Structure 1
Amino acid sequence: MAALLVSVLAAGLALAACAPSDPPSDSSLGALPPGVSVELIQLRSDVVDRAAQVRLVNAGEDDLVITGLEIMDPRFEESIVRDKRAQVTSGRTLDMRIALPSVACDADAADDAATIELAYEVDGRAATAAASIADPLAFIPLLHEKECLRERLADVAVLSWSGFEASDALAPAHLTLEIDPSGGGASARVETVETTPLLMFDAAGAAPFVVRAEVEGSGSPQRVRVPLVPLRCDPHAVMEDKRGTIFDVTVSVGGVVGVVEVAAPAEVKGEVLRWVAAWCGFGG
């Protein structure tokens, strides 16, 4: 009987050794597989949609199936979760698109770093890894800085474009920068408006338009009439325009100087593009 018991136990241990292991719990996260690396990048096409890419490079010997990921970064209000399956074979690179949460403006953008938990399968066996995730383009600190500055500015005033006035060729058109206080006791300063890939402010060159408007949160609205002339007159610049009516405005809020984007509304953008085409002589 003893010999039979020993034989049964030995067989059970052998079967256990051959069976696939259970997926590790959060307390037993492993390292990334050999040859695998991850980083965060933002492509030009991601910017408008406020998205980014998790780039996974599989230089290892095994094909991987990514079953999910979570990125933790204190500079965002929430973690970034992606639960779609994706395969990345050995020797290939995979970009996985993610939506970016709202920024957390009480976080220190200089010191915080992102980490990733990656769920994957190799030959049908599940595993989970944890690692830091690089940001080689350093787009997250810039995004955090820009959006937090915009939040602080919104507590003082809202900037917008209105009142486009078209012009004949060789004369400048005009667009009105609206500065509408939000209330409260804070203050800001609107310094300059920068040129766009399509528009500048006079024929002398691509210098910024100087505003230098002091803004009080409890003050009165201000209107600034900004002259415009085309920066370029090639037709495809109008046909393929994406950022020609999105202006970078330099502001100072609470001693912090930076740039906020102020886009013309769709109807104003249409008026501006039609005017550029007519001004340049290729409009209908």
Structure 2
Amino acid sequence: MRTSLGHRSRAPARSRAWPGIAAAAIAVVLGLVGCSPSPTAAPSAAPVPTLPAGVTVELAQLRADVAPRQAQLRVINGSDTAITVGEVRVEDPRLHGPATRVVPDRVSTIPARGSVDIRVQLPPVACSAPDKGDSEAVLELVGESESAEVTAPAPDTLGFLAPLHSRECLQERMADAATLAFTDFQPSAPGEPATLELTVTPTGAGAGTVVGLERTNLLDFAGAPAEDEVFHLDIDVSAAEAEPVVVEVPLVPFRCDPHAVQEDKRGTIFDVRIELEGEPGEFELFVGDELRGRILTWVAGWCGFAG
């Protein structure tokens, strides 16, 4: 997979000549946008600008994108001419607003027959929308002296958005009854379990049950049978409660190969199982960047490959 190594500052990108098909495409797009019907012409819908022939886009979320709630807009240039993309927006009814570049004001040059992944930050989900929907990308094509916005379908190639929408809306519903957060971590000597602190804070306005946590690809629960899929907590929250419940979760590394820490993407994201109104469900809960660093340092020392 190629990354956007072709990023460069906006000023140089706008000053370069853009020959061939891409320049022609911008001229056509701008012409379409600027056209107005004659006084005698019947009213018609404005034409929708599109990408140059051979250029497509798609949306995906990689493992490293999960914790920061980001995604990749992949621009695939199947034409014979390089194109330059400035601002981007990904719009979907399941999102509360557009997803935009993580690094604003960048431009990406996509060579002929090449592709570039543009990282975008996902906004909060829109829980009033159904799980199904279609994503659309709006891209700024940058030319010699002008730019134009074009719109294109952005299929979700890995199908991540519907599950993300479902999980985060479930977490939002659970938050009506209680909020969940990992609040502390106490490391341990090799061979001994460490302690991860989970705090469940009732709102006093709803009810639900925190059933338990699932192990990750990096972390296991000390003393838990291997066949158990969940570390049971069974914390019942009611509308009459408001005092936080603090649980100490005993952890040991699930694996001790160095690349498990060096290449960690999801090892500190736990699946939380809950029940709401008698219906089971689950959502993901990240320990946060600060605790993640402490946990990875502990795993390295516990396994004997620190330093």
Task: Provide closer, same or farther for how the CA distance between residues 176 and 117 of structure 1 changes in structure 2, counting only shifts above 3 A.
Answer: closer
Q: Deviations over 1:215-241 (max 9, x none)?
A: 124314333332322222345545665
1:211 and 2:233 are equivalent in the alignment: yes
Q: 1:200 aligns with which of 200, 203, 220?
A: 220
Task: Provide closer, same or farther for how the CA distance between residues 198 and 209 of structure 1 changes in structure 2, counting only shifts above 3 A.
Answer: same
Once residues 139 and 263 of structure 2 are traced to their aligned partners in structure 1, the CA distance between those partners, rounded to angstroms, is: 38
Q: Deviations over 1:48-95 (max 9, x none)?
A: 332222111111233323244333211111123456433223211122
Q: 1:24 aligns with which of 16, 32, 42?
A: 32
Deviation at 1:113, TM superposition (A): 1.0
Matches within 5 A, 1:240-279: 241=264, 243-254=266-277, 255=279, 257-263=281-287, 266=290, 270=294, 272-273=295-296, 276=299, 279=302
1:65 and 2:84 are equivalent in the alignment: yes
Q: Which runs of 4+ in 1 moved over 6 A?
A: 122-125
Q: 1:75 aligns with which of 89, 94, 99?
A: 94
1:223 and 2:231 are equivalent in the alignment: no
Give the equivalent residue in structure 2 for 1:133.
154
Once residues 165 and 227 of structure 1 are traced to their aligned partners in structure 2, the CA distance between those partners, rounded to angstroms, is: 10
State the percentage of identical aligned residues.
37
Q: Is the 8 A contact 1:200 1:229 kept in 2?
A: yes
Once residues 209 and 181 of structure 1 are traced to their aligned partners in structure 2, the CA distance between those partners, rounded to angstroms, is: 21
Q: Deviations over 1:208-265 (max 9, x none)?
A: 2112222124314333332322222345545665544432211223435122314167
Q: How many aligned positions are there?
A: 262
Matches within 5 A, 1:7-46: 22-25=30-33, 27-46=46-65
Give the equivalent residue in structure 1 for 2:67.
48
TM-score normalised to the size of structure 2? 0.71
Q: Is the 8 A contact 2:184 2:291 kept in 1?
A: no
Give the equivalent residue in structure 1 for 2:198.
177
Partner amino acid, structure 2, of 1:180: T
Question: More displaced, 248-257 or 81-90?
Answer: 81-90
Give the equivalent residue in structure 1 for 2:140.
119
Deviation at 1:141, TM superposition (A): 1.4
Task: Provide closer, same or farther for how the CA distance between residues 120 and 216 of structure 1 changes in structure 2, counting only shifts above 3 A.
Answer: same
Deviation at 1:116, TM superposition (A): 2.4
TM-score normalised to the size of structure 1? 0.76
Task: Provide closer, same or farther for how the CA distance between residues 157 and 130 of structure 1 changes in structure 2, counting only shifts above 3 A.
Answer: same
Q: Is the 8 A contact 1:170 1:279 kept in 2?
A: yes
- Structure 2 residue ranges without an equivalent (≥5): 1-26, 35-45
Task: Provide closer, same or farther for how the CA distance between residues 64 and 269 of structure 1 changes in structure 2, counting only shifts above 3 A.
Answer: closer
Question: More displaced, 24-33 or 48-57?
Answer: 24-33
- Structure 1 residue ranges without an equivalent (≥5): 1-19
Q: Deviations over 1:165-213 (max 9, x none)?
A: 55555443443432210121x2111112111233211354373211222
Give the equivalent residue in structure 1 for 2:176.
155
Give the equivalent residue in structure 1 for 2:167.
146
Task: Provide closer, same or farther for how the CA distance between residues 225 and 44 of structure 1 changes in structure 2, counting only shifts above 3 A.
Answer: closer
1:91 and 2:99 are equivalent in the alignment: no
Once residues 224 and 66 of structure 1 are traced to their aligned partners in structure 2, the CA distance between those partners, rounded to angstroms, is: 49
Give the equivalent residue in structure 1 for 2:14.
none
Once residues 157 and 292 of structure 2 are traced to their aligned partners in structure 1, the CA distance between those partners, rounded to angstroms, is: 37
Q: Is the 8 A contact 1:164 1:268 kept in 2?
A: no
Q: Is the 8 A contact 1:247 1:261 kept in 2?
A: yes
Partner amino acid, structure 1, of 2:52: P
Deviation at 1:150, TM superposition (A): 1.9
Partner amino acid, structure 2, of 1:258: E
